[in-house]
DNA sequence: CATAAGAAACATGCTTGACTGTTTGCAAAA
DNA sequence: TTTTGCAAACAGTCAAGCATGTTTCTTATG
């Protein structure tokens, strides 16, 4: 695939196998659930032997934990990129809500729903995750803090709105499980929420001229 | 416990064993998670033999499905009782938010988080649950519809606020897994949300004299 | 009302299958 | 040649489902 030639260094081989295994793990978590994400299944999905898996990851819990942390840190990188861009051009609160929804709906929270119960009952697993989750929230903070500074809104209040937004979106994605195939329902709720958030940042007309939206809302 | 060698009818025996098994199942789901809710463990927790379990429930999936449905329908009954009372005395929107939070935080959504991933990947299991969930939402509707009628707010808009409230609370409970031991955080967010909801039902100061008990729902 | 037949509730043990962690074997890179 | 990356076989565990045995209740009948 991406191999520049036939000869690859050990590091290259190792890195590619690890990556394949981690990607396979996330794919399986998303597509088939944690219970069905077994080590033989991961190896099959990654196209390597189970021996290769045990060579790179000592235990099932380890590969899952590492894969999830990897996914989260990638998402955090994206988040920081978005934050930079958002700050540079002075984006709207609507955009933030849309971005968060897209991000969470694009596998992130579905995968989260898979490991969250395990994290609740397994202290080691939970301890592994918490630092990564903290980084992720720092990325979120960067965005909302910028919005707060620009609109002169109390940062503490902004943080509440931010967290409420995250919770709302989490709950919405949860609901898709038992209420699927109803995009209009979720778009309507998002529209309502965007309006609520707008009310929290009233002076936003400052940079109203560049209200070009990338993500079309309904 | 209660029956010390007393002669009980078959139906009584059967019913008690079933109940014990279903309660044990919910307890285990909450305390140890779906993966650890095995049939031997359920039997042990219920204080009956595994044979008794297989006698009453053909398969593991069955006992879990039935137990969850039972829990949901109990919650729905409570909800209807609350609705009746709420309508009778013309309660406030704050009360609804508090009630929902209490209800969800009191095991309901923790247990839900356990089976939701399974429901996502298992169509039979999901199909079993959907009708019960629909009943539950009907109970919710009863409350909010009463509030809408009293305050003269558009029912469709009210439904959006209701659903947003449910989603918010779901997301909040999800967050408790990786952000535990911070009740102030959640109370602050609830306070914010109660204020938002209040704004949606502005005329609420009116007294509760014109609330009729019978004519409301159904 | 006594009791025996039968049904329902419950208990115990066995079989199968699958998964996890480990060890041994082997080829390619260093 | 040594080390590293990977493959394949192995051993231990445990749950799920099933089948057969045992107790408790119900009821039909004399």
Q: How far apart are CA B29 and CA B40, in angstroms?
A: 14
A7 or B215: whose pLDDT is higher? A7
Give A29-91 as a 3 state SS string.
HHHHCCCCCCHHHHHHHHCCCHHHHHHHCCCHHHHHHHHHHHHHHHHHHHHHHHHHHHHHHCC
Give residue limits of the domains in chain A: 1-57, 66-207
Q: How far is C-alpha B84 from the geometric centre of its chain's CA atoms?
A: 17
Contact assignment for B118 to A34 by CB distance below 8 Å: no
Residue B214 has pLDDT above 60, yes or no: no
Nearest CA in chain B to A116: B177
**Nearest CA of chain B to the CA of A26: how many Å?**
14
Residue with nearest Cα to nucleotide C21 C1'? A59
Residue with tokens 């695939």: A1
Q: In chain D, which nucleotides are within 7 Å of a protein Cβ?
A: 4-9, 14-21, 24-26
Q: Do the Cβ atoms of B171 and B165 come closer than 8 Å?
A: no
Instruction: Give the long-range contacts of residues B74-79, CB within 8 A, separation 24 or more.
Output: B75/B103, B75/B108, B75/B136, B76/B132, B76/B135, B76/B136, B76/B138, B76/B139, B78/B103, B79/B103, B79/B136, B79/B139, B79/B140, B79/B142, B79/B143
Q: Which nucleotide is nearest to A10 (CA to C1')?
A: C29
Q: What is the largest CA-CA distance in chain A?
A: 60
| CATH superfamily of domain region B8-57 | Homeodomain-like (1.10.10.60)
Query: Within 13 A of A93's CA, how many CA atoms are on the CB side?
Result: 29
DSSP letters of B19-82?
HHHHHHHHHHHHHH-TTT--HHHHHHHHTS-HHHHHHH-SSHHHHHHHHHHHHHHHHHHHHHHH
* Residue-wise pLDDT tens digits, B20-60: 999 999 999 999 999 999 999 999 999 999 999 999 999 99
In this prediction, residues A47-71 reach a mean pLDDT of 97
CA dihedral (A47, A52, A56, A59) positive or negative = positive
> How far is the CA of B111 from the CAs of A175, B68, B101, B127, in angstroms?
14, 8, 15, 18
Say which CATH architecture domain A66-207 belongs to.
Orthogonal Bundle (1.10)
DSSP letters of A161-172?
HHHHHHHHHHHH
User: Cβ contacts of residue A139 below 8 Å, gap of 6+?
Assistant: A76, A79, A80, A83
Class assignment of domain A1-57? mainly alpha
- Mean of pLDDT over chain A: 91
pLDDT score for B217 = 35
Q: Helix A109-121 and helix B155-178: axis angle, to 10°?
A: 50
Q: What percent of chain B stands above pLDDT 70?
A: 89
Q: How far apart are CA B56 and CA B21, in angstroms?
A: 9
Residue B190 has pLDDT above 70, yes or no: yes
* Residue-wise pLDDT tens digits, A114-164: 999 999 999 999 999 999 999 999 999 999 999 999 999 999 999 999 999
Encoded tokens for B107 = 């095991």
Q: What percent of chain A stands above pLDDT 70?
A: 89
Contact assignment for A175 to B189 by CB distance below 8 Å: no
* Residue-wise pLDDT tens digits, B72-83: 999 999 999 999
Contact assignment for A118 to B193 by CB distance below 8 Å: no
Which residues are in reach of strand C, CB within 7 A? Answer: A 7-11, 13, 38-41, 50-51, 54, 58-61; B 10-11, 13-14, 16-17, 48-52, 54-56
pLDDT score for A216 = 36
**Nearest CA of chain B to the CA of A37: how many Å?**
12
3-state secondary structure of B194: helix
Contact assignment for A113 to B116 by CB distance below 8 Å: yes
Chain B residues with CB-CB distance to A174 below 8 A:
112-113, 116, 167, 170-171, 174
Contact assignment for A170 to B169 by CB distance below 8 Å: no
Cα torsion for A177, A178, A179, A181, to the nearest 10°?
A: 50
Q: How far is C-alpha A38 from the geometric centre of its chain's CA atoms?
A: 23
């Amino acid at each position: 695939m991406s191999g520049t030639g036939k000869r690859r260094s050990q590091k290259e081989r190792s890195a590619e196998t690890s990556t394949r295994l981690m990607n396979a793990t996330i794919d399986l978590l998303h597509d088939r659930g944690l219970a069905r994400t077994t080590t033989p299944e991961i190896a099959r999905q990654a196209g390597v032997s189970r021996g290769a898996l045990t060579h790179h990851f000592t235990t099932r819990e380890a590969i899952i934990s590492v894969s999830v942390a990897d996914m989260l840190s990638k998402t955090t990188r994206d988040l920081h990129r978005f934050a930079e861009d958002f700050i540079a051009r002075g984006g709207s609160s609507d955009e933030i809500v849309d971005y968060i929804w897209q991000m969470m709906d694009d596998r992130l929270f579905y995968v989260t729903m898979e490991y969250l119960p395990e994290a609740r009952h397994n202290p080691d697993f939970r301890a592994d995750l918490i630092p990564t989750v903290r980084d992720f929230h720092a990325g979120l903070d960067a965005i909302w803090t910028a919005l707060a500074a620009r609109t002169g809104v109390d940062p503490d209040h902004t943080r509440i709105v931010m967290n409420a937004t995250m919770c709302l979106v989490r709950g919405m994605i949860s609901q898709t499980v038992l209420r699927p195939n109803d995009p209009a329902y979720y778009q309507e709720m998002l529209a309502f929420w965007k309006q609520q958030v707008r009310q929290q940042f009233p002076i936003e007309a400052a940079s109203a001229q560049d209200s070009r939206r990338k993500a079309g809302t309904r």
